[in-house]
Amino acid sequence: MKLTTKKLKLLIKEVRSEKNKKSMVLERPDSKNFIVQEGKKSFSLQKLNETTMTALQGKYMENGFVVLTSDRSCHAELGIPYGEPCPEREEYFFKQNNIENREVLKRWVRSKGYGYTPVYGGFKEEIKDESGEVIGKVDSPEPEHSLLIMARNDKESTNYLSLKDLAKEICEVFNQDAFFYKPPSSEDTNAYFIDKDGKVDMKFSNFVFGDLQQDYFTQLAKGKEKRQSSKRFSAIPEGLYVPKPPLSAVEARERRGEIFITVRGK
């Protein structure tokens, strides 16, 4: 079922008048599950705000997921080179518009029968000295607000729009260039950037978890873990390499703190 312009306008209207209207999601007394009502149909959603890296490495990889955003910067929309300031008025407009669009996106995802986990998409910025020499890197101060959405894995999943098709619709509506797609492990162990036309823009052959040195990363926005590394993962583009696991206990102790990954050949 494709999102119509009328339906999108209704979602936006609901967000703007949230204080005066009931949410589309009704919380059960046990506060662990939700009931979503769409017309005469209703279905349950599991609350996903306690997602951990363990769950991500397990059921999320197995079922498949997407990571996408509704945010758009004035740099992207107005063609202003990154690093140059946006006009103050335009900066304010896009900031407020992004806040509103995030709520629209959440309601849209819920209405399609999917749960989500808030995440940040970030990257490392270079730190330069007075001579212009790069002396280090630091996380960007303004990460992109995104949603991580796991594919449905139940008998009713065929009754809903596929997660990949939903992501393509979201991409089109919010004028996004691409979204991150991890297919179910039973179908494909790789991951991809998919553009708004549905074509593969980039292929990823592996993941690393808890590595704070990666230039690009996805980080859980919430969670019980206090350590930043416990909330972060990165996809490794095809053709890049990661260090091999240690060959002895002595080497493992020397490399304490690393996340070791075994890459199996095909």
What pLDDT, on the 0 to 100 scale, is given for residue 2?
Answer: 53
- Gap between the Cα atoms of 179 and 198, Å rounded: 10
What pLDDT, on the 0 to 100 scale, is given for residue 48?
Answer: 42
Cβ neighbours of residue 24 closer than 8 Å, sequence gap 6 or more: 14, 36, 37, 38, 107, 110, 111
Positions of the chain with pLDDT under 50: 1, 19-50, 240, 266
- Gap between the Cα atoms of 253 and 257, Å rounded: 9
Residue 119 token pair: 């995440």
What pLDDT, on the 0 to 100 scale, is given for residue 42?
Answer: 47
What pLDDT, on the 0 to 100 scale, is given for residue 28?
Answer: 36
